[in-house]
């Protein structure tokens, strides 16, 4: 009892640690926000006798998985279980209570069973949206006694003209079994029949008789008028212009997603008018809407079948598992591909047609895959449906073999899964398929345009340059003069891929190398050689990195390993990793800096420029009282910083890898993150000083330097050794413009002593 505050039968507040909780007997109601924010709560059993659950009672209980609600509960308040995103099971007994607004909002894993429940009284549409598939014995109860669009949609699941007669027969039996039947229920039965033709004459007559027996005279009379107008039934025979359409008609019986696409609010007449190229490739005849709906539903169906079991909060790097649909793929092969992609892309870009994203992901070319990924970034703002659409589209992209799809999977951390689906691993895919642009050993690619040959090559900054071999000069674009149109078009498309994706591939590789830089991860020498000495693109990336084998360091120059002095280096059998200044002598670090400056080479990240801070210099008060913008800590995962944001921005914070720092939100209790938001830093502690911690210390040094300069604090000199000449010049300007005389003088002296011969505007990295 000590875990509960109970006043006059009302459970006002739960103050326990969570886990599995049984609410004590004697409680008659659960108060507003009684369990609010209890993240460690796993399951709750509410005893018989509790009559109400207050507004927001279990709001933001992120760990809650199961709740048992007894029949005595008559009402559940607004947002009672909102953001219980792990909630899977809510067990009701016999009947559902009345529900306030958004009771189960953002409970992405929740599904509710209707089995064994009393369905003959009005039930909230919220239950309809969460309930599992409607079975044949449940459907008649919904049709007679439940109202609202959500319940109508549930009653129509898997309903087709060919089995409407069977459904009406079930309704007849249900009507007969009722002791009394409300006039409203009788009217709903007739409305269903009028909206869903297909029942036989004798079945409708039986329903009219049953309604008469239950004194629903007006409904029975209306139904008999309909029967009188019916013509004698004839065996239906349908003819199709194309065997594809006959195949679609046969395959789509009882397919609810397909039927919804055809009977929903989609203006197919306009859609097809706007997409005249949606046609059969062989005959050139435009395809009907049924073909489009079949292809879309083949992949949307797979996604929506698992929607209630999908954790929506994983949308940043989550996906819905989707498999290739042989029937849809077979039909897609018979269509004009460009026309199909235009139609899918047009539909998917409409916010209310996001279910098309899975099919678009499956069939997209490079251009449409990139467009889909842009759409997905917009969908993320619409939680939860937009976020689910992101994961469904990503499931389609998992089946897509374009380089754009591969790059996306690498970016969101799913390349391992993507590669496994294709019988390989992520590293091999990065080293081969992803980085293969068809360049020769010299890093060139020749385009035969018919009348002339133009070669494309990659320079040290990974830019594409073109050289007209026939004219003997550099050109800005592929010349059209004397070019064969088909060859020119093919060359243009390939060159566009080269220009667009070379930097993306290298960027993805450099992100991995930066991770290796912080972790100290190494690779086998032979595997390293295969990746970097056999691929012109990756070779150029490797030439911007300092590598290490044990205590030896090297890079690549003109495809050959060299030391910081430019001498040839022989690669041994030892593992190879990304070198770190912490593990080099200062003179060697300086030599590498000189090497990159002399060659005007920009590293992809600050490797040899990474400051090395001695652990003994990092005191607990190094950042005491310093204010740093909140935005510095956001989206900094690659630097070892995890930012968290809860309770609608009211609670924000961060965690550091390998170290810790006290902090306070300078402007607490806000439900928004404003531009002026800062954290005031406190005591800094280290678990173990390694590469990651050194990097975080260097970051914090940089983030706090501006505040120190503006305070005219000359002690900032102690952290200046990690900054470039261009940055020091910026600090001098900042101090001078703000009247920080002592700092300005100190910075000028430091610049003269440290960078006497350097170009102050030099840039040393690609970041």
472-481 pLDDT, tens digit each:
999 999 998 8
State the Cα–Cα distance between residues 193 and 226, nearest whole angstrom: 10
E strands along 564-657, which residues? 576-578, 627-629, 641-646, 651-656
pLDDT-derived band at 234, boundaries 50, 70, 90: very low
Measured from the Cβ of residue 60, the count of other Cβ atoms closer than 10 Å reads 23
Mean pLDDT over residues 538-565, rounded? 94
User: How does residue 96 score in pLDDT terms, banded at 50, 70 and 90?
Assistant: very high
Least confident of 429-438, 503-512, 579-588, 663-672: 663-672
What is the predicted pLDDT for the residue at 361? 97
Position 18 scores a pLDDT of 85
- Give the CB-side neighbour count of residue 348, counting CA atoms within 13 A: 35
What would be the CATH architecture of the domain defined by 4-110? Alpha-Beta Horseshoe (3.80)
pLDDT beyond 60 at 221:
yes
- Segment 654-676 shows an average pLDDT of 87
Q: What is the CA radius of gyration of the chain?
A: 34
Q: Is 241's pLDDT higher than 80? A: no
**4-8, 254-258, 575-579: least confident range:** 254-258
Whether pLDDT at 335 is above 90: yes
Tell me the average pLDDT across 384-401. Answer: 94
Q: In degrees, to the nearest 5, what angle opens at C-alpha 495 toward C-alphas 489 and 500?
A: 130
The residues near 81 (Cβ < 8 Å, ≥ 6 apart) are 57, 58, 59, 61, 64, 67, 87, 90, 103, 104, 107
SS3 content of the chain, % helix, strand, coil (to 5): 45, 15, 40
| Average confidence (pLDDT) over 704-712 | 89
In the predicted structure, residue 235 carries a pLDDT above the cut 50: no
- For the record, the structure tokens of 253 come out as 């019986």
Average pLDDT over residues 76-92: 92
For residues 121 and 143, is the Cβ–Cβ distance under 8 A? Answer: no
Average pLDDT over residues 262-284: 88
Please report the pLDDT score of residue 641 as a whole number: 95
Integer Cα distance of 497 and 447 in angstroms: 14
Please report which confidence band the pLDDT of residue 729 belongs to, taking 50, 70 and 90 as the band edges.
Answer: confident
On the question of pLDDT at 120 being above 60, the answer is yes
| Max avg pLDDT among 101-115, 462-476, 734-748 | 734-748
Asked whether the predicted pLDDT for residue 177 surpasses 60, the reply is: yes
Task: Please state which of the ranges 195-204, 406-415, 619-628, 737-746 shows the lowest mean pLDDT.
Answer: 195-204
State CA 745 to chain mean position distance: 50
Share the mean pLDDT of the chain.
Answer: 88
Residue-range domain boundaries for the chain: 4-110, 122-232, 243-395
158-167, 367-376, 544-553, 674-683: least confident range: 158-167
- Judge whether 562 and 592 are in contact, CB under 8 Å: no
Which residue, among 703, 688, 693, has the nearest Cα to 634 in the 3D structure?
703
Q: What is the structure's pLDDT at 162?
A: 53
Highest mean pLDDT among 162-171, 199-208, 719-728: 199-208
Q: Is pLDDT above 50 for 91?
A: yes
End-to-end CA distance of the chain: 58
Q: Is 516 helix (H, G, I), strand (E, B) or coil?
A: helix
Closest CA to 358 of 376, 338, 377: 376
pLDDT at 199: 84
Res. 732: pLDDT tops 80: yes
Residue 644's pLDDT is: 86
Query: What residues contact 137, with CB distance under 8 A and at least 6 apart?
Result: 170
pLDDT surpassing 80 at residue 351: no
Residues 91-120, mean pLDDT to the nearest whole number: 90
Q: What is the mean pLDDT of residues 718-734?
A: 81
Say what the pLDDT of residue 443 is.
Answer: 80
Q: Among 625, 638, 629, 653, which residue's Cα sits nearest to residue 702?
A: 629
How much is the average pLDDT of 605-627? 91
pLDDT of 505 reads 87
Query: Is 693's pLDDT higher than 70?
Result: yes
Which of the given ranges, 23-32, 144-153, 297-306, has the highest pLDDT on average? 23-32
Whether pLDDT at 295 is above 50: yes
Q: What pLDDT is attached to residue 760?
A: 42
């Amino acid at each position: 009892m000590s875990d509960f505050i109970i006043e006059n039968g009302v459970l006002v507040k739960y103050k326990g640690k969570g886990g599995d909780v049984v609410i004590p007997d004697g409680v008659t109601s659960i108060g507003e926000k009684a369990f609010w924010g209890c993240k460690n709560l796993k399951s709750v059993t509410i005893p018989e006798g509790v009559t109400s659950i207050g507004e927001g009672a279990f709001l933001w209980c992120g760990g809650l998985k199961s709740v048992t609600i007894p029949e005595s509960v008559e009402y559940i308040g607004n947002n009672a279980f909102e953001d219980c995103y792990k909630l899977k099971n809510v067990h009701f007994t016999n009947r559902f209570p009345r529900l306030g607004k958004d009771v189960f909002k953002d409970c992405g894993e929740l599904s509710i069973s209707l089995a064994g429940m009393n369905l003959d009284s009005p039930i909230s549409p919220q239950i309809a949206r969460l309930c599992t598939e409607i079975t044949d014995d449940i459907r008649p109860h919904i049709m007679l006694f439940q109202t609202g669009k959500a319940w109508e949609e549930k009653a129509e699941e898997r309903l087709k003209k060919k089995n409407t007669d069977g459904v009406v027969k079930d309704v007849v039996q249900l009507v007969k079994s009722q002791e009394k039947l409300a006039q409203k229920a009788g009217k709903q039965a007739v409305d269903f029949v009028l909206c869903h033709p297909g029942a036989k004459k004798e079945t409708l007559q039986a329903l009219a008789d049953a309604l008469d027996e239950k004194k629903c005279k007006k409904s029975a009379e209306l139904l008999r008028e309909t029967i009188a107008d019916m013509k004698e039934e004839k065996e239906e025979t349908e003819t199709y212009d194309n065997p594809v359409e006959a195949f679609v008609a046969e395959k789509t019986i009882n397919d609810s997603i397909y039927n919804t696409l055809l009977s929903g609010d989609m203006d197919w007449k306009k859609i097809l008018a706007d997409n005249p190229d949606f046609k059969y490739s062989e005959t050139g005849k435009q395809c009907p809407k049924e073909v489009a709906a079949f292809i879309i539903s083949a992949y949307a169906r797979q996604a929506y079948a698992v929607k209630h079991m999908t954790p929506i909060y994983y949308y940043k790097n989550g996906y819905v598992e989707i498999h290739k649909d042989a029937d849809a793929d077979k039909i897609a092969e018979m269509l004009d591909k460009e026309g199909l992609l235009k139609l899918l892309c047009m539909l998917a870009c409409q916010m209310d047609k996001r279910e098309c994203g899975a099919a678009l992901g499956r069939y997209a070319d490079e251009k449409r895959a990139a467009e889909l990924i842009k759409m997905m970034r917009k969908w993320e703002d619409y939680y939860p449906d937009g976020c689910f659409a992101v994961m469904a589209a990503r499931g389609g992209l998992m089946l897509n073999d374009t380089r754009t799809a591969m790059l996306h999977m690498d970016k969101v951390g799913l390349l391992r899964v993507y590669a496994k689906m294709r019988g390989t691993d992520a590293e091999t895919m990065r080293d081969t398929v992803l980085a293969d642009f068809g360049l020769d050993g010299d890093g060139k690619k020749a385009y035969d345009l018919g009348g002339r040959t133009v070669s494309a090559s990659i320079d040290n900054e990974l830019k594409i340059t073109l050289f007209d071999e026939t004219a003997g000069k550099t050109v800005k674009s592929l010349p059209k003069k004397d070019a064969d149109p088909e060859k020119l078009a093919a060359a243009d498309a390939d060159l566009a891929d080269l220009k667009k994706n070379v930097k993306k591939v290298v960027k993805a590789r450099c992100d991995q190398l930066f991770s290796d830089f912080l972790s100290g991860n190494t690779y086998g020498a032979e595997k390293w050689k295969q990746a970097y000495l056999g691929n012109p693109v990756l070779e150029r990336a490797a030439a911007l990195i300092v590598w290490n084998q044990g205590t030896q360091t090297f890079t690549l120059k003109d495809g050959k390993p060299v030391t910081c002095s430019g001498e040839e280096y022989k690669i041994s059998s030892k593992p190879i990793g990304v070198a770190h200044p912490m593990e080099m002598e200062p003179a060697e670090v300086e030599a590498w800096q000189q090497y990159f400056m002399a060659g005007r080479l920009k590293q992809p990240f600050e490797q040899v420029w990474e400051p090395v801070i001695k652990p003994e210099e990092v005191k607990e008060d190094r950042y005491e009282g310093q204010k740093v913008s909140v935005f510095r800590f956001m989206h900094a995962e690659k630097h070892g910083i995890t930012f968290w944001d809860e309770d609608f921005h009211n609670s924000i914070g961060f965690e550091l890898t390998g170290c810790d720092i006290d902090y306070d939100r300078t402007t607490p209790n806000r439900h928004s993150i404003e531009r002026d938001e800062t954290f005031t830093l406190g005591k800094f502690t280290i678990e173990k000083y390694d590469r990651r911690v050194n990097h975080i210390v260097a970051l914090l040094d940089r983030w706090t330097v501006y505040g120190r300069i503006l305070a005219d604090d000359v002690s900032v000199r102690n952290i200046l050794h990690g900054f470039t000449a261009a940055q020091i010049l910026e600090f001098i300007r900042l101090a001078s413009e703000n009247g920080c005389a002592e700092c300005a003088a100190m910075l000028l002296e430091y610049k003269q002593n440290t960078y006497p011969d350097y170009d102050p505007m030099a840039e040393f990295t690609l970041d």
